[in-house]
Amino acid sequence: MSVNSVKLHQKFGFIGGGNIARAICEGMVRKKLISFSQVYVSSATHTTLEYWKDQGAFTTTINGKVADEADVIFLAVKPHIIAEAIAQLLQTFTPDRAANKLFISVLAGTTLAAIENILQEVHGARVMRVMPNTPLLVGEGCSVYCPGQHATEYDINLVKTIFQVSGVCELVPESLISSVGALAGSGPAFIYLIIEALSDGGVKLGIPRKTSTMFAAQTVLGAAKMVLETGRHTGILKEEVTSPGGTTIAGIHELEKGRLRSTLMDALDAAAKRAGELGPKK
Ligand SMILES: NC(=O)C1=CN([C@@H]2O[C@H](COP(=O)(O)OP(=O)(O)OC[C@H]3O[C@@H](n4cnc5c(N)ncnc54)[C@H](O)[C@@H]3O)[C@@H](O)[C@H]2O)C=CC1
Ligand SMILES: O=C(O)[C@@H]1CCC=N1
C-alpha cells in the first residue's frame, strides 16, 4: 500500500513544540496522514503554543498531560533540556500506562541508551531514534531512524509511515546518526547559505533580489532532481554543463580557489563533532 493512502488514527504528542515538531506534524497533516485534532503539544512557553492552538491541537505546559493522552510521543526539546523535560513528564504521567506508548526521540547527539536510561522508570519503554530535517514540512524530508531495544516491528513501520509520507526515511546503524544529522539534519541550513550567496551573486550582476533568489532556489532544485532522477554520477552531470573554455569552468576555478568542497566537508565534520558534545551522557 502506498503511504499516501494511509490515515493514522493514533494520538500524537510533542514534548517541545518548536521548529522540528512543526515540520514533522505539518508534513503529516499536509499529506492527510493525520489531522491537528489528533495532536497534543507541550512547550515551556505559551507563546510557542499559540501556533498549535490556532491549528486546533490540544496544548499545555504540562508534559505529563501530553504523555497521558498520546499514543506516540515525540521528544522534540533541545538535547540539554531532555532530562528536565522527562522529569517533568514523569511528575504526572503514570508509568504503568506506558506499555502502549511509543517514544520517538529526534534529539541530536542523544543516544538511544541515554533516552532509555532517562525513561528507566517507564519499564520496557519503546523508543525509536529519528534524525529528521525541516524540509519534511514541504514533503521533501530526508530522515533516518534506528530502533531502541524494546521497539517492535509495528513501531518501525509506524516511523517509516510517518517520515516516508513526507520524504525519504531509511534505517541506519546508530553510529551513523550524527553523520546523517550533519549532512541532512543541518544540511538545509548549509544550502540556504548557498542559495543566499548565489542570489547575492545574481544581485551583484544586476538581477532583482526576488527574481535572483527564485532563480537560485530553482537551480538548486533542478540540479538536485537531475542527480536523483537521472541516477548519473555528479561528475558526469557537471561535465554536461562545463564547456571547454566556457563560462562554467571559469566559475568552477573560482570555487576551487575558495575551497568550496573542502569547506563543505569541514562543515559536516564540525556538525558531527558538535553532536557528540550535546545531550546527556549515558
Ligand atoms: N531544527 C532542526 O532542523 C532539527 C532539530 N532536531 C532536534 O530537535 C530538537 C528540537 O529542535 P528545534 O525544534 O529546532 O528547537 P526549538 O527551540 O525550535 O523547539 C524546542 C521547544 O522545546 C520547548 N521546551 C523547552 N523546554 C521544555 C520543557 N522543559 N518541556 C517541554 N518543552 C520544552 C520550547 O518551548 C520549544 O518549543 C533538538 O533536540 C534538535 O537537536 C533534529 C533534527 C533537525
Ligand atoms: O542544529 C542542531 O543542533 C539541530 C540538529 C540538526 C539540525 N538542527
| pLDDT grade for 31, boundaries at 50, 70 and 90 | very high
Mean pLDDT across the chain = 95
Can you give the pLDDT at residue 5?
A: 62
- 28/162 same-domain check: yes
78 in a labelled binding site: yes
Give yes or no for residue 185 CB within 6 A of ligand 2: yes
* Rounded Cα–Cα distance for residues 135 and 152 (Å): 27
DSSP-derived letter for residue 60 is: E
User: Quick check: ipTM above 0.95?
Assistant: yes
- The parent domain of residue 192 ranges over 187-277
pLDDT tens-digit readout, 62-78:
999 999 999 999 999 99
Handedness of CA 40, 1, 171, 236 (dihedral sign): negative
**37 & 118 share domain:** yes
Which ligand 2 atom is nearest residue 79's CA?
A: 3
User: Residue 171's beta-bridge partner residues?
Assistant: 145
Mutate-to-test residue for ligand 2 from 20, 142, 144, highest number of ligand atoms within 8 A of CB: 20
Same domain assignment for residues 104 and 15 = yes
Beta strand ranges found along the chain (DSSP E):
12-15, 39-42, 58-60, 72-75, 102-105, 126-131, 141-147, 167-171
Closest ligand to 23 CA? 1
67, amino acid identity: A
Structural contact between residues 161 and 3, judged by C-beta atoms closer than 8 angstroms: yes
Residue 76 annotated as lining a ligand binding site: yes
> Can you give the pLDDT at residue 91?
87
CA of 13 to the centre of ligand 2 (A): 21
CA of 179 to the centre of ligand 2 (A): 12
Ligand 2, atom nearest to 275 Cα: 3
Average pLDDT over residues 190-199: 98
For residue 261, the model assigns a pLDDT of 97
Closest C-alpha among 265, 262, 258 to residue 182: 265
178 assigned to a ligand binding site: no
Same domain, 152 and 203: no
pLDDT at 4 over 80: no
Q: Whole-angstrom Cα distance, residue 51 to residue 60?
A: 12
**Maximum mean pLDDT: which of 63-67, 83-87, 91-95, 129-133:** 129-133
Ligand 1 atom nearest 77 alpha carbon: 22
Count structural domains, the chain. 2
pLDDT digits (tens, 9 = 90+) for 200-220: 999 999 999 999 999 999 999
* pTM greater than 0.80: yes
Q: Is the pLDDT of residue 18 over 50?
A: yes
Residue 43 marked in a binding site: yes
On whether residue 140 sits in a domain, the answer given is yes
What is the CA(74)–ligand 2 centre distance, in A? 16
15 or 124: which leads in pLDDT: 15
* 21 in a structural domain: yes
Quote the pLDDT of residue 242.
98
Please indicate, yes or no, if residue 179 is contained in any of the structural domains.
no
The bound ligand whose nearest atom lies closest to the alpha carbon of 85 is: 1
Q: Which residue, of 172, 207, 236, is where some domain finishes? A: 172
What does the pLDDT average to over 151-161?
Answer: 97
Atom 25, ligand 1: residue with shortest CA distance: 44
In the chain, the percentage of residues whose pLDDT exceeds 90 is 88
Span 276-281, average pLDDT: 83
Domain membership of residue 181 (yes or no) is: no
CATH code of 238's domain: 1.10.3730.10
16 and 151 in a single domain? The answer is yes
Q: Which ligand is nearest to the CA of 181?
A: 2
What is the per-residue pLDDT for 93?
78
CATH number at residue 126: 3.40.50.720
Cα 54 to Cα 34, 37, 142, distances in angstroms:
16, 11, 28
pLDDT at position 1: 42
Domain end call among 172, 201, 218: 172
Position 2 scores a pLDDT of 47
Candidate from 1-5, 56-60, 194-198 with smallest mean pLDDT: 1-5
CA of 205 to the centre of ligand 1 (A): 39
Measured distance CA(179)–CA(184) in Å, rounded: 9
Provide the pLDDT for residue 282: 56
